Amino acid sequence: METLILIIAGSGRMLAQAAKNAGLKPLVIDLFADLDTQSCAEAFRQIPSLAEEHITPALEYFIKRYAVTQVIYGSGFEYYPESLYYLDSRLIILGNHPDTFAKLQNKQAFFAVLDELDIPYPEMAFSAPEYQDNWLIKPLQGHGGWGIKHYHRNGNDNAGSAVYWQKYQAGTQHSVLFLADGQQVQVIGFNTQSSIMLSETQEFIFSGIINNSELQEGQKSLITDWLTRLAPVFVLKGLNSLDFIQSANCSYILEINPRPSASMQLYDDDLLIRHIKASKGSFADYTSTDKDVKGWQIIYAEHDLKIPEKYEWPEWCMDLPESASIIRTGQPVCSIIAHQKPPQKIAEQLLIKRQIIINHIKRFQLHGI
């Protein structure tokens, strides 16, 4: 296995750390170049977006300077699927082929497959519903809940064609992390997700995840059966995750994320190597050796703030911005992680740690430190 590996994502920290922990040397292209990424990357380049024109100079630099030949992509390409075809033309992609990514982004094709396989999902439409009746409006291309809001027929929600409508489905938010080799599936774990409302137009932003759920074994088996039928249809490879809603005894699929998701960091360190091997059509039986329940959460800025010059981040913080960085309202400040054996304590620990960070930064700003 080659030592050098290129990581490219909206935020490359998680994959870069996983690569380093696996004994690889990550080269990173992302939008933030946060302190964690800088510390674990062999080299990095910060770019303003994942558009092809912004990726190209950084990618060509790494190919010329380091002769890197393989790349792993993360989140953010939902807005720039064409960039994946450029990556595929220059490097070996370890993960899903751009065609798989594009087919999953094509909502008409995705929901048509669910219909063929008789897999339930919340009612949806590609034209504005006649009645308001608790519908959501969603972007055709998006991730992390950005752009999802309640539909108001008398508002401006009919503008543009890059949206679709879906009935709001009450229930608990879940995901399942899994490996695929193009045909078969291995479930890594079921997770519970949380979201936060940042504004009237950003009502369902992904805010955190816990690698534990109260799903019954029968419910998990049903979801696993769906995955075994979906994987060969879309030729899924490597690490993927499926988001779904659990309402009483009914499960409803929302989407498949065809790349390593945030839940990856809540499991064993060897998952990146397993991702690489599965992408090449090989995997061994997976049994987690880590019994602790883990939770990860993003802290969003409640108002514009400046990161203090002398601020010392606790060891359980990650995705750290540089000193003096300006974080705008609604943007991520950092993320936090918690480990607990009793699952019920995880949410409480994350809440406490979040408040610690917010209070510390406020105190620094109040005293002008």
Total number of domains in the chain = 3
Q: What is the mean pLDDT of residues 198-210?
A: 91
141 and 263 together in one domain: yes
Is the domain of 235 the same as that of 136? yes
Residues 141 and 81 in one domain: no
Question: What percent of the chain clears pLDDT 70, i.e. is strictly above it?
Answer: 94
Confidence grade of residue 369 (pLDDT, cut at 50, 70, 90): very low
Whether the CB-CB separation of 10 and 263 falls below 8 Å is answered with no
pLDDT digits (tens, 9 = 90+) for 35-60: 999 999 999 999 999 999 999 999 99
Range(s) of the domain holding residue 350? 293-366
Considering the domain architecture, whether residues 48 and 174 belong to the same structural domain is answered as no
Which amino acid type is present at position 354? R
Q: Is residue 73 part of a domain?
A: yes
Residues 163 and 304 placed together within one structural domain of the fold: no
pLDDT of residue 308: 87
Q: Answer whether residue 21 is part of any domain.
A: yes
- 241 pLDDT band, cuts 50/70/90, is very high
Distances (CA, A) of 64 to 10, 36, 88, 90, 111: 23, 25, 17, 12, 42
Residue 236 has pLDDT above 50, yes or no: yes
Q: Report pLDDT digits (tens) over 115-126.
A: 999 999 999 999
Q: What is the pLDDT of residues 12-25, one digit of tens each?
A: 999 999 999 999 99
Instruction: Please report the pLDDT score of residue 142 as a whole number.
Output: 86
User: Helix 81-90 vs helix 98-105: angle between axes, to the nearest 10 degrees?
Assistant: 170
Q: What is the mean pLDDT of residues 297-307?
A: 92
Out of 62, 94, 126, pick the residue that ends a domain: 94
One domain, residues 149 and 231: yes
Mean local confidence (pLDDT), 74-101: 97
| CA 140/CA 301 separation, integer angstroms | 26
Q: Do 153 and 234 share a domain, yes or no?
A: yes
**57 or 268, which is more confident?**
57
Q: Please identify, among 94, 121, 136, the residue that sits at the C-terminal boundary of a domain.
A: 94
Instruction: Work out the average pLDDT over 172-176.
Output: 97
Residues 115, 245 within the same domain:
yes
Quick check: 288 and 266 in contact, CB under 8 A? no
| Residue 337 in domain | yes
CA torsion through residues 151, 157, 158, 161, sign: negative
- What average pLDDT does the segment 125-145 reach? 89
* Together in a domain, 184 and 246: yes
Q: What pLDDT does residue 233 have?
A: 97
Strands (E), the chain: 4-8, 25-30, 43-46, 70-73, 92-93, 124-125, 135-139, 149-150, 163-167, 172-181, 185-196, 205-210, 237-247, 250-257, 293-300, 305-306, 317-318, 326-327, 332-340
Q: Is the same domain home to 215 and 77?
A: no
Looking at per-residue pLDDT, the higher value among 366 and 335 belongs to 335
Q: Is residue 286 part of a domain?
A: no
**Within 10 A of 87 (CB to CB), how many other CB atoms are there?**
20
Mean predicted confidence (pLDDT) in 157-185: 89
- Mean of the pLDDT values across residues 240-257? 96
Residue 86 and residue 113 in one domain:
no
pLDDT of residue 158: 54
Residue 297 lies in a domain: yes
CA–CA separation, 73 vs 87, rounded Å? 9
139 and 81 in one domain? Answer: no
